[in-house]
Amino acid sequence: MKSTHHAGESFIDALRPEVQVMNLGATVLQGLVENVSIPRMVSGPSAEWVAENSAVTESDPVFDSVSLTLHQLAARTQVSRKVLKQSLPGIDALLQADLRKAIAVALDDAAVNGSGVAPEPRGILATSGIGSVALGTNGAALAFPKIAALMAEVEGENVSGTSYGWLMSHKLKAALMSQLTADAAVDMILQNTATAGWQIAGYKAAFSSLVPSNGTKGTGTGLSTLIFGNWSDLIIGQWGGIDLVVDNVTEAAKGGVRLIAWSEWDIATRHPQSFAKVTDAVTA
């Protein structure tokens, strides 16, 4: 009988969604210990032209705060004694790395889709006050004028755009690659250049299957979401690092080992006006 060679050097990893939020420029606050409250000026005093010997109108600034509170994000796996003995070398390191990747995907998902219902943080799409552009009663194809309108939802709110960018699903990517900016134009809405990579209207575009592409509206189904925003205004807080617990006691009678990764995070936006969304784009 021939033995089986485990070709660890050719290991095939699992398929996972792309993690894009930090690549787009989200602000990460690391090493937090306590809950955080960041003061925010909602509106400032205003100035006015005043006639001679007239009093200027008083206007007071309005303040509130953006809070970050600890939310636990964990992943757990178990490996049998047989796998430990017969699998490729370094299976423990491989599983540790896999747990970290699972946490990264879950964090990105929460940054986009998080409901804000405990224990989950609130993501961009569930944040009250972000801009929105509707395409049609049952959804519609995403034409360039609506792209411009989505940009205006953010830029028109005086957001200081140091890291403007787009995030969408791969289904919407495919649609915008073949959608012209205007009748008789030669440029597609989504373009890829050797120097700047993927862009829309001069701003970076990124893609992830974590962005919804299964929306419904009226009779429309399979509708896709597009997010535009100033991504540095998305704050991701992290308490400590990712801690790995190796539990070789619980399943000791079976010879098994549990690996558990623990981490603590929260997500917030500096200003809701820093982001805007389309949720009813037809891609087919």
Mean pLDDT of 13-17: 86
Q: Check the CA dihedral 245-251-253-255 and report its sign.
A: negative
Rg, the chain, Cα only:
24
Measure the CA–CA gap between 142 and 277, rounded to whole angstroms. 12
Give pLDDT tens digits for 61-90.
999 999 999 999 999 988 877 776 666 557
- In this structure, the number of other CB atoms found within 10 A of the CB of residue 240 comes to 13
pLDDT at 220 (0 to 100): 97
pLDDT at 10 (0 to 100): 66
Give pLDDT tens digits for 204-252.
999 999 999 999 999 999 999 999 999 999 999 999 999 999 888 888 7
Return the residue matching tokens 């993690």: 19
Give pLDDT tens digits for 170-195.
999 999 999 999 876 779 999 998 89
Domains with residue ranges and CATH for the chain: 126-234+271-281 (3.30.2320.10)
pLDDT at 3 (0 to 100): 63
Residue type, 46: S
Could you give the angle at the alpha carbon of 18 between the alpha carbons of 9 and 209, nearest 5°? 130
pLDDT at 86 (0 to 100): 62
Band (pLDDT 50/70/90 cuts) for residue 255 is confident
Whether 6 contacts 88, CB under 8 Å: yes
Output the furthest CA–CA distance in the chain (Å, rounded). Answer: 105
- In this structure, the number of other CB atoms found within 10 A of the CB of residue 170 comes to 16
Residues above pLDDT 70, as percent of the chain: 93
Band (pLDDT 50/70/90 cuts) for residue 1 is low
Q: How many residues does the chain have?
A: 284
> What residues pair up with 78 in beta bridges, in sequence order?
258
- In this structure, the number of other CB atoms found within 10 A of the CB of residue 9 comes to 7
Band (pLDDT 50/70/90 cuts) for residue 4 is low
Helix (H) or strand (E) holding 68: strand 62-68
pLDDT at 284 (0 to 100): 85
> pTM here?
0.90
